[in-house]
Structure 1
Amino acid sequence: MVSELEKRGNKVTVYTSRAPNATRSTMGVRRWPVLRDRAGAVRGYLQYASFDIPLFFRLLFGKAFDVAIVEPPPTTGLIVMLAAAIRRRPFIYFAADVSSVAAAGIGVAKPVVSVLRAMERTVLSAARFVLTVSSGVSQAVVDLTHRPEKVVNVGTGVDTKKFSLDGERTEEGGRYFVYAGTMSEIQGAGIFVDAFLRIASEFPDVRLLMYGDGVEKEELRVRAASTERVEFPGTVGSEILSRILRGAVAGLASVRPSKGYDFAFATKALVSLSCGTPVIYAGVGPLRDVVSSERLGRSVDWDIEQVANAMRASLSAQTSDSERRRLAGWVQRNHSLARVGANAAAVVARIGHNTGS
């Protein structure tokens, strides 16, 4: 989105957090040190406040801007709404998810969910536009605000330059499955650990690589302690992850049902496909039917034995080079992040500012 806005002659400043062990940011990116939890995530009231409070003053006393674009959580949206109102500027909310729905799904206390829902409704209703990543998120926003005229589905995608079929494959030996992403209650990555444990004795050369972090990571480590073939390498850069995915039997993606987030779009599946690797998709969400209808891998219910059978079938199959090209091409045509950025920039242009920041 930033690249597309700059192509259109806009000057863009990005305010974000300072990531652990990150390389120096490029020009136009302003990072702020924030509090993080034990897993290194910015998750929790104090963690959010450590970013939101300084952001308010940076927006209030910083350079003039024509429009602000803010992503979740709603606390940050509230800060941007207030600063934009004081400076008499519009703002756009980029809703990759609906936080109050997610909070209710993972069992957050009802009074907290009620406050969060009221906050989110206020922020989304005040935004000039709300950009969403899928029809499911669009409907959740409309249900919350009753303002369908503000909602624009710009789609979701992955960086097909960073995650592509072209490039080296990992030098790691043997066969392996890859889960790469957040390990939280909504994703329910444990379904893959449990399924792998069922097939491990049948395929002694196969490993399960669980990349990423999340609140369930340590629990999954304990669950997988009976074997050394479930590995948790942590978080790696896109170049390394692309190399690993190109050599995988299949990428793994899931959305756990009955968590109030059945509309979630598991982009980790797109990352795998963009590297030419088929996916095993478990659970619910819009990608469930897409994987089946477009022959992108295997879709199964939220069931350990079904996931285990999908793993067995994947290990018995061979993915040809032509099939890998088809998978990567499908992502390029349908879910390129460049297209999503162009869609978002087009909405920003509708506000009517031709120049500025």
Structure 2
Amino acid sequence: MSGSSTVPVVLLATRTYPPEVNAAAFRLGALARALARRAGVTVITSTPAAHAPTIRDAAGVKVKRLPALRDRGGNIRGYVQYMSFDVPLLLRLIARRFSVAVAEAPPTTGAVTAVVAALRRRPFAYYAADVWSDGVAAVGAPRLVVGLMRSMERFVLRRAACVLSVSDGVNERLAALGVDLAHVTVVGHGVDTTVFTPLAPASGDGAYFVYTGTMSEVHRPQVLVEAFASIAPQHPDLTLRFYGQGVYEQELRDLSEHLVPGRVEFGGVIAPELAARQLRGAVAALVTLAPGTGYEFAHPTKAYAAAACGTPVLYAGPDEFGAIVRENDLGLAVSHDPSAVADAMERLLKDRELGATERERPRRAQWAADNVSLEAVGARAADAVLALAGLPRTAGRIEQDQGPSVRPVQEPPS
């Protein structure tokens, strides 16, 4: 091994990392913290967006940041933006010594890391929190682009000595791409249950529904505004809140102003601690996945952040994730339809009025603590990575035959 005769050195390449506020950054932060307990860790990532909160890097983790192009929402999203990170990444990776390399999507970053690892004759792990080419197809990219991205993703996945997957649904798509599942470790995908907790101070300023996270083609959250508009006249003090950003944000703002002027609030990207306050005080957390995108296997982490706060989830989308919500009584699961969502909103308002929401809060929060702890996910992922350097595993694996009640979760690419 390079770097030390006894301690492996792990090089982690990812365009997003704390203090960025998104699911990918959270899971990479958890992985780095877990790795640092047993290895040297260097993270090569991007300079954070202007709206990212200020935090200290985790103890034992060296973070090297590269400037990269971002879109108007502050995201490294788009092929020019990806290359603005990946080209200088190649130079940084070649110059460093490491025992194991780990890359996070997109596949362009994975390809750069895979090539450098091959040149250095070091093992390479790829974190497949989703199948990126499925997401590209879901947002309507041209067939040529989808084909090129799928070919690159297949190249990366087949050259990884270890693939970190978040769910059986992702495994099915990996197998379809020709990945040998013997090289795949299911690690899950969780939330920080020390931040998202029923003990978080509630935002105590009236009754509201809240949506936190990406507003993208995969989610199509316009259905929430349409549903809210149909019940708003009966509940004059009720509001709808959106926190986050995405390609549909302006369309949502315009739709809200047209249907229910002054009743829908947009708060932008906020720190996890503030998101926890909003979730803790909400009537329910709103979660959507649009049908027919080819991304029906996605499991949105925002639902689990709500559950960790003990707040009910109102999920509108395909039934795979709906089964998780129903079987664990995390809230209500309905079709991606304004009428169905409006009916569910009325039911959840009644639950709040009758005290059922507060009675169920401890049980929902305990379920999240038991099943979707981000630190446990990080430990499992670190075990799989360090096994490539010859270190023994210390964390328990997720059993492959688990039922839906404990299926790991994921978020579509933003």
TM class, shorter-chain normalised? over 0.9
1:85 shift after superposition? 1.1
Q: Is the 8 A contact 1:66 1:353 kept in 2?
A: no
Where 2:41 maps in the other structure, the secondary structure is: coil
Q: Is the 8 A contact 2:311 2:357 kept in 1?
A: no
**2:80 partner letter:** L
- Whether 2:39 is the aligned partner of 1:6: answer no
1:16 shift after superposition? 1.5
- Whether 2:375 is the aligned partner of 1:338: answer yes
Aligned pair in 2 of structure 1 residues 133, 50: CA closer, same or farther (>3 Å)? same
Q: Which residue of 2 aligns with 1:261?
A: 295
Q: Is the 8 A contact 1:281 1:299 kept in 2?
A: yes
Q: Which residue of 2 aligns with 1:139?
A: 172
- Report how many aligned residue pairs link the two structures: 352
Distance 1:162 1:32 in 2: 28
Q: Which residue of 1 aligns with 2:226?
A: 194
Q: Is the 8 A contact 2:157 2:179 kept in 1?
A: no
Where 1:65 maps in the other structure, the secondary structure is: coil
Aligned pair in 2 of structure 1 residues 24, 276: CA closer, same or farther (>3 Å)? closer
Distance 2:188 2:302 in 1: 15
Q: Which residue of 2 aligns with 1:157?
A: 190
Q: Is the 8 A contact 1:94 1:132 kept in 2?
A: yes
Q: Which residue of 1 aligns with 2:79?
A: 45
- Give me the CA root mean square deviation: 1.5
Q: Deviations over 1:278-332 (max 9, x none)?
A: 1000102642101101111000011110011001111111245441111111000
Q: Is the 8 A contact 1:142 1:151 kept in 2?
A: no
Unaligned 5+ runs, structure 1: none
**2:32 partner letter:** V
Q: Which residue of 2 aligns with 1:28?
A: 62
Aligned pair in 2 of structure 1 residues 320, 253: CA closer, same or farther (>3 Å)? closer
Distance 1:87 1:25 in 2: 31
**2:43 partner letter:** V
1:1-357 → structure 2 map (5 Å cutoff): 1-7=31-37, 9-21=38-50, 22=52, 23=54, 25-26=56-57, 28-62=62-96, 64-171=97-204, 173-226=205-258, 227-284=261-318, 286-318=320-352, 319-354=356-391
**2:365 partner letter:** A
Distance 1:89 1:181 in 2: 36
Distance 1:114 1:168 in 2: 47
1:137 shift after superposition? 0.7
**1:35 partner letter:** L
Where 1:347 maps in the other structure, the secondary structure is: helix
Where 1:208 maps in the other structure, the secondary structure is: strand
- Larger deviation, residues 268-277 vs 98-107: 98-107
Distance 1:233 1:48 in 2: 27
Q: Is the 8 A contact 1:280 1:299 kept in 2?
A: yes
Q: Deviations over 1:122-181 (max 9, x none)?
A: 00000011111111111111111242212221111101111111131113x210001001
Q: Is the 8 A contact 1:131 1:344 kept in 2?
A: yes
Where 2:360 maps in the other structure, the secondary structure is: helix
Where 1:200 maps in the other structure, the secondary structure is: helix
**2:251 partner letter:** E
- Larger deviation, residues 317-326 vs 233-242: 317-326
**1:161 partner letter:** T
Distance 1:276 1:181 in 2: 18
Q: Is the 8 A contact 1:255 1:285 kept in 2?
A: no
1:68 shift after superposition? 1.0
Q: Is the 8 A contact 1:263 1:285 kept in 2?
A: no
Where 1:225 maps in the other structure, the secondary structure is: helix
**2:243 partner letter:** Y
1:352 shift after superposition? 3.4
Q: Is the 8 A contact 1:265 1:285 kept in 2?
A: no
- Larger deviation, residues 158-167 vs 114-123: 158-167
Give the share of equivalent positions with the same residue, in percent: 44
Distance 1:340 1:60 in 2: 29
**1:345 partner letter:** A
Q: Is the 8 A contact 2:99 2:389 kept in 1?
A: no
Distance 1:84 1:352 in 2: 13
Aligned pair in 2 of structure 1 residues 321, 197: CA closer, same or farther (>3 Å)? closer
Distance 1:145 1:25 in 2: 40
Q: Is the 8 A contact 2:49 2:75 kept in 1?
A: no
1:255 shift after superposition? 1.3
Distance 2:119 2:262 in 1: 56
Distance 2:56 2:357 in 1: 39
Length-normalised TM-score, structure 1 = 0.95
